[in-house]
Structures are given as structure tokens and as C-alpha cells.
């Protein structure tokens, strides 16, 4: 692949956690793979005063394990400029610094500004960049990457969108959703649209239900303060999980191009059947919060005992939703999505449950459970695709048994899978917004979760406790229609699927 053209990346919030843990390590990987532009600089910007050298040392702390010579080379592209977000003079100085460095290092003035700050600064920084003319440069590009969360509800997201659009144009704005940068998520497009066998059965005639799980074994760790104001619905569902639904359910795009794909996912969001009453929400949406438990003789804290969390908190650490997509392809196919913290393992996967065969040929007249074909797209860990189907057990008669056809992504290539941030940073550098969320789809996703947010504010809206290390409240199991049906529990299939239970 060609390297991106010459440019500078300016990271606001550069002294923070995301820069150190995700952005710098991803840029380093791109650097050693020679994927960064040949003429490239990185400028860190935040309030703390650092010299270039101090910032180089601090920001590369996470790279200790890596080759020291490469790190020294990498450090040469790193610079730092202190900026108070609300001080316009600091933006003039930043502009001057960009000019000087670009001239000295022969860098084209193509600029990417990465907002890795607390969200309260997502409007003031772009406004001040525009004020000093850094939002456009004749003959060059100026792009803005906006981190999550994109608003906290429909109204704040609309406002943020409007404010961003008054300083930058939509094509300049890259709203990051790191789930879209995950390899297996992108592979979903290839699976669906490069293989002629799937598309004919990818609809209500053959699919009984769709299930998407994103489970985490970790709790809120050091982010209790942030998480307690957010909860699973905002933190994971409104963005990551609904974006996955968009890719899984969309119509074939006419080409692999950002707007061609994002136009199709938008249509899916617009077709979500809205919740129109509290009763509907109560019956189709379950929220839970982990409570203390004992696992292998170890006492596990409950959510309300976590640092930064209100001791009477009603914030959900688990959420599961059953909903429908009102369009020709998906009419009457239930979609089930769930996510939670302190579940038994870390796994994200999409499960397509196909309908049973119309005639029970091998049941010998008995009422035997049918083989339910499943296609499982594993996003993480052990990225891959698993197909479950029925086979005959050896011996007399026709005794059927579910078996697996299991493809592991790591067998495809010797290459290490790029991290989501690596992929997304590089995409922005080449101007490809396909894997970034577009403003209109973010707004549609907020519209869908809005009635749930409002219902949960009511004091009688239920929240169920679940012991840390279990699969969430039992009430979530009751969402799935059909007596014999449950969510897929990867841990139960330890030997078949190779998942490891961490708790």
C-alpha cells in the first residue's frame, strides 16, 4: 500500500491516558512498518508544560519492550506545544509552531487534529482552530478526529454536531468508533459481499434471529467516575454495538467507498423499530449492575464499591435489548444485543441463528431438538468465523450431532493484526472515512436509545443485580423467544470453541 502523503498530526489532550496507551503505541507500530508518511510530524498539545524532550520521554513510556534504536528514531518525529484550550493566543502560537516545523522538516501543511481531551472541550478546540484559520489551508487538507463519547443523549449530540459543523465541514470530521477499526468487523463486509453463498440466505426467510454480544471480564477499573455518568447503554450500545448492527444488516453498497457504505448503514438505523411505551421497554430491555461475589475464594467487589462510583448508583453495567428492524430484509427477525462488565469472559461476537430445516427427517418420529445452524463471527479474542451444523454420528442409524467448522483469523497471515487505532489513524491519514461514524448515523442511534434513557430515569424502572462473574441478570435470558432458546454462552462450550474463562 502507498504511504499517506506528507502531513502533521496534532493531538490535543496529549498528556492523557488515551494518547499514552493507544495513540502513541499505534503510531509507533505504523512507524516501524513504514506506513506513516515519509515526511511526518506529530505535535502533542495540552495544558501541561513540557519541552519536546520531556514529552518524548513521557509519551513513549509504554514502548519499553520495543527496540530502543527504533524508539529513538520514532522520538525524532514527536514535538510538543502547550495549549490552554480557551486561550486564543495559544492557538496562534500553535499555528506558528506548525509553520516553523513544517518548513524546517519539509512537511506539507496537511493537518489532522485529534481531540483526545475530555468531551467538554470538543467544541471550544475546533472553534479556536477555526478562529486562527487552521480549519482550512489552501491546497491542503485539515481534518478533525473526534473521540467518543459523541454527546450523552440526542440533544447534546445534535448540539455538538451543529457546533462542529459550524467550524469544519462534514467531510473533514472523523468520528472515531474503535469497534469499526477491528479486523473481524471489517471482515464482515468481505464475508457478506465477497462470497455469493451468504447473501441469498441473509434475510428473514432463512434467519431466525441475530445475537450480538460484547462481554468484558473487567469491571470499571479506574474509570468509575466517568462510567457512573455513562453506563453500558451510552458507553457501548449507542455507538459500538449499533454500528455493528448497521454493518451486519445493511444492503450491499454499490462500491467500497465511505459514503456508499455509510448511506446503507444509515438506512438500517432509520429502520430500527422505535420503542413507543414504557411497557415495551420494560419487556424488551434489561439493565443490570454487578454486585459483589466470591470467585475461587476471591472476594470480588460490587459496582457500588468501586472507586468513583456513587454508593447508591443506579447506573447499568449490563444492558440487553431485543428489537426489530422494520424493512423488507429483516421484518420480524428479532435482534438481540447485550453488553456487560464483570461477565465470565471477554468476548465479542455476532451470532446468526438460521431457521430449522422444514422437515425433521432424522428424528425417527421423536420430538428431538433440531440442529440450529449458527454462523458465529468472532470479533475478539481469537478472531475468526465459526459455522455450526449437524453431522451424523458414526455407527448405525442416523443420530445427528452439532459440529463446528472453525476458521481462525491468525492462520490467514503471518502478519500481526493491526490494532483498531492503527487502522483508523492510517485511514484518516489517507482520507478514508469508511470506518468512521457519520454524523447522521450517530444521531439516528441516539434517537433509538432516547426512550430507553428516559424510561430508566424513572424511579420505578427496574435494575437487576447480578453477581460479578456471571452472565448478567436472568431477566436477560427471558428476552429470547422460544422455550429451548438462550443466548450463546461461549464459556459453556470451552472445549469446542476454545474460549478461555477468565473468572
Ligand X SMILES: NC(=O)C1=CN([C@@H]2O[C@H](COP(=O)(O)OP(=O)(O)OC[C@H]3O[C@@H](n4cnc5c(N)ncnc54)[C@H](OP(=O)(O)O)[C@@H]3O)[C@@H](O)[C@H]2O)C=CC1
Ligand Y SMILES: O=C1O[C@H](COP(=O)(O)O)[C@@H](O)[C@H](O)[C@H]1O
Contacts with ligand X, 85-114, as mask; x by CB under 6 A: x-----------------------------
Among 147, 216, 382, 383, binds ligand Y (CB under 6 A): 216
Cβ-based nearer residue to ligand X, 72 or 221: 221
Choose the one of ligand X, ligand Y, none that binds residue 16, judging by a C-beta under 5 to 8 angstroms depending on kind: ligand X
Measured CA to CA, the distance from residue 325 to residue 249 in angstroms comes to 9
β-strand partners of 46: 82
* Residue of 146, 138, 145, 129 whose CA lies nearest to 109: 138
Cβ-based nearer residue to ligand X, 177 or 383: 177
90 binds ligand Y (CB under 6 A): no
422 binds ligand X (CB under 6 A): no
Q: Which helix (H) or strand (E) holds 70?
A: helix 68-75
What count of other Cβ atoms lies within 10 Å of the Cβ of residue 80? 25
Residue nearest to ligand X (CB): 16
Choose the one of ligand X, ligand Y, none that binds residue 18, judging by a C-beta under 5 to 8 angstroms depending on kind: ligand X
383 binds ligand Y (CB under 6 A): no
Minimum distance from CB of 446 to ligand X (Å)? Answer: 16
228 binds ligand Y (CB under 6 A): no
Looking at 420-461, list the stretches that DSSP marks H as alpha helix, in order from N- to C-terminal side.
420-430, 439-456
* Residue of 10, 88, 96, 70 whose CA lies nearest to 45: 10
Cβ-based nearer residue to ligand X, 116 or 317: 116
Minimum distance from CB of 23 to ligand X (Å)? Answer: 9
Active-site hit among 171, 240, 360, 474: 240
Choose the one of ligand X, ligand Y, none that binds residue 235, judging by a C-beta under 5 to 8 angstroms depending on kind: ligand Y
Choose the one of ligand X, ligand Y, none that binds residue 216, judging by a C-beta under 5 to 8 angstroms depending on kind: ligand Y
Among 40, 126, 147, 181, binds ligand X (CB under 6 A): 147
> Is residue 240 annotated as part of the catalytic site, yes or no?
yes
β-strand partners of 321: 285, 337
Q: Residue 75: is it exposed, middle or buried by C-beta count within 10 angstroms (0-12/13-18/19+)?
A: middle
Residue nearest to ligand Y (CB): 235
Cβ-based nearer residue to ligand X, 48 or 166: 48
Measured CA to CA, the distance from residue 11 to residue 115 in angstroms comes to 6
Among 92, 108, 119, 206, binds ligand X (CB under 6 A): 119
16 binds ligand X (CB under 6 A): yes
Cβ-based nearer residue to ligand Y, 31 or 421: 421
Backbone angles phi, psi at 5, to 5 degrees: -70, 165
β-strand partners of 79: 43
Cβ-based nearer residue to ligand X, 3 or 223: 223
17 binds ligand X (CB under 6 A): yes
Cβ-based nearer residue to ligand Y, 60 or 217: 217
β-strand partners of 322: 336
Looking at 350-500, list the stretches that DSSP marks H as alpha helix, in order from N- to C-terminal side.
420-430, 439-456, 494-497
Measured CA to CA, the distance from residue 55 to residue 61 in angstroms comes to 10
Minimum distance from CB of 371 to ligand Y (Å)? Answer: 31
Go through the chain and tell me how many residues it has.
503
Minimum distance from CB of 69 to ligand Y (Å)? Answer: 31
Choose the one of ligand X, ligand Y, none that binds residue 15, judging by a C-beta under 5 to 8 angstroms depending on kind: ligand X
Range 274-280 contact pairs with CB under 8 angstroms and sequence separation of 24 or more: 274/447, 274/448, 274/451, 275/323, 275/451, 275/452, 275/455, 276/451, 278/455, 278/458, 278/461
Minimum distance from CB of 391 to ligand Y (Å)? Answer: 33
* Residue of 379, 334, 384 whose CA lies nearest to 213: 379
* Residue of 340, 337, 272, 331 whose CA lies nearest to 303: 340
What residues numbered 24-63 form the site for ligand X, per CB under 6 A?
46-48
Contacts with ligand Y, 325-364, as mask; x by CB under 6 A: -----------------------x----------------
Cβ-based nearer residue to ligand X, 342 or 388: 342
Size of the site for ligand Y (CB under 6 A): 3
15 binds ligand X (CB under 6 A): yes
Minimum distance from CB of 12 to ligand X (Å)? Answer: 7
DSSP string, 237-273: IIIIIHHHHHHHHPPPPSSSSHHHHHHHHHHHHHHBP
What residues numbered 369-388 form the site for ligand X, per CB under 6 A?
none
235 binds ligand Y (CB under 6 A): yes
Q: Supply the DSSP symbol for 274.
A: P
Backbone angles phi, psi at 66, to 5 degrees: -85, 170
306 binds ligand Y (CB under 6 A): no
Q: Is residue 381 within 8 Å of residue 346, measured between CB atoms?
A: yes
Cβ-based nearer residue to ligand X, 22 or 262: 22
Collect all residues with Cβ–Cβ distance below 8 Å to 371 and sequence separation of at least 6. Answer: 356, 357, 389, 390, 400, 402
Residues that bind ligand X (CB under 6 A): 13, 15-19, 46-48, 85, 116-119, 121, 147-149
**Interface contacts to ligand Y, rule CB under 6 A:** 216, 235, 348
For the annotated catalytic residues, the residue numbers are 240
Amino acid at each position: 500500500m502507498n504511504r499517506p502523503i506528507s502531513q502533521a498530526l496534532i493531538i490535543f489532550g496529549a498528556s492523557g491516558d488515551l494518547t499514552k496507551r493507544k495513540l502513541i503505541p499505534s503510531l509507533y507500530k505504523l512507524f516501524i512498518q513504514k506506513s506513516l508518511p515519509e515526511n511526518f510530524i506529530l505535535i502533542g498539545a495540552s495544558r501541561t508544560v513540557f519541552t519536546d524532550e520531556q514529552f518524548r520521554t513521557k509519551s513513549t513510556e509504554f514502548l519499553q519492550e520495543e527496540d530502543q534504536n527504533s524508539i529513538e528514531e520514532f522520538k525524532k518525529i514527536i514535538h510538543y506545544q502547550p495549549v490552554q484550550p480557551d486561550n486564543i493566543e495559544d492557538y496562534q502560537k500553535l499555528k506558528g509552531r506548525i509553520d516553523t516545523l513544517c518548513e524546517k522538516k519539509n512537511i506539507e501543511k496537511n493537518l489532522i487534529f485529534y481531540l483526545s481531551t475530555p468531551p467538554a472541550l470538543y467544541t471550544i478546540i475546533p472553534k479556536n482552530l477555526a478562529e486562527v484559520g487552521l480549519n482550512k489551508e489552501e491546497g491542503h487538507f485539515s481534518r478533525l478526529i473526534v473521540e467518543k463519547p459523541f454527546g450523552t443523549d440526542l440533544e447534546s449530540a445534535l448540539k455538538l454536531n451543529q457546533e462542529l459543523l459550524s467550524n469544519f465541514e462534514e467531510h473533514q470530521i472523523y468520528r472515531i468508533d474503535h469497534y469499526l477499526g477491528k479486523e473481524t468487523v471489517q471482515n464482515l463486509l468481505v464475508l457478506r459481499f465477497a462470497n455469493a453463498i451468504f447473501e441469498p440466505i441473509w434475510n428473514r426467510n432463512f434467519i431466525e434471529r441475530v445475537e450480538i454480544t460484547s462481554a468484558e471480564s473487567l469491571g470499571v477499573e479506574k474509570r468509575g467516575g466517568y462510567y457512573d455518568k455513562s453506563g453500558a447503554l451510552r458507553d457501548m450500545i449507542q455507538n459500538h454495538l449499533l454500528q455493528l448492527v448497521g454493518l451486519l444488516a445493511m444492503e450491499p453498497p454499490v462500491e467500497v467507498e465511505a459514503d456508499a457504505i455509510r448511506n446503507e448503514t444509515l438506512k438500517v438505523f432509520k429502520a430500527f423499530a422505535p420503542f413507543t411505551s414504557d411497557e415495551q421497554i420494560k419487556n424488551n430491555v434489561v439493565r443490570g449492575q454487578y454486585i459483589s461475589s466470591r470467585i475461587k475464594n476471591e472476594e470480588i467487589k460490587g459496582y457500588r464499591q468501586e472507586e468513583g462510583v456513587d454508593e447508591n448508583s443506579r447506573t447499568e453495567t449490563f444492558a440487553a435489548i431485543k428489537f426489530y428492524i422494520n424493512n423488507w430484509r429483516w421484518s420480524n427477525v428479532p435482534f438481540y444485543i447485550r453488553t456487560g462488565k464483570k461477565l465470565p469472559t471477554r468476548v465479542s461476537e455476532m451470532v446468526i441463528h438460521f431457521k430449522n430445516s422444514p422437515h425433521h427427517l432424522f428424528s425417527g418420529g421423536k420430538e428431538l431438538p433440531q440442529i440450529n445452524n449458527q454462523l458465529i463471527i468472532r470479533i475478539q479474542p481469537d478472531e475468526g468465523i465459526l459455522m455450526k451444523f449437524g453431522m451424523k454420528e458414526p455407527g448405525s442409524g442416523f443420530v445427528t450431532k452439532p459440529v463446528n467448522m472453525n476458521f481462525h483469523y491468525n492462520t490467514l497471515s503471518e502478519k500481526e493484526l493491526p490494532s483498531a487505532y492503527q487502522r483508523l489513524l492510517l485511514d484518516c491519514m489517507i482520507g478514508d472515512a469508511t470506518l468512521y461514524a457519520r454524523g447522521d448515523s450517530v444521531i439516528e442511534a441516539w434517537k433509538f436509545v432516547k426512550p430507553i434513557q428516559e424510561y430508566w430515569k424513572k424511579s420505578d424502572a427496574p435494575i437487576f443485580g447480578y453477581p460479578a462473574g456471571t452472565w448478567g441478570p436472568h431477566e436477560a435470558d427471558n428476552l429470547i423467544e422460544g422455550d429451548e432458546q438462550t443466548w450463546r454462552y461461549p464459556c459453556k462450550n470451552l472445549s469446542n470453541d476454545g474460549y478461555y474463562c477468565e473468572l
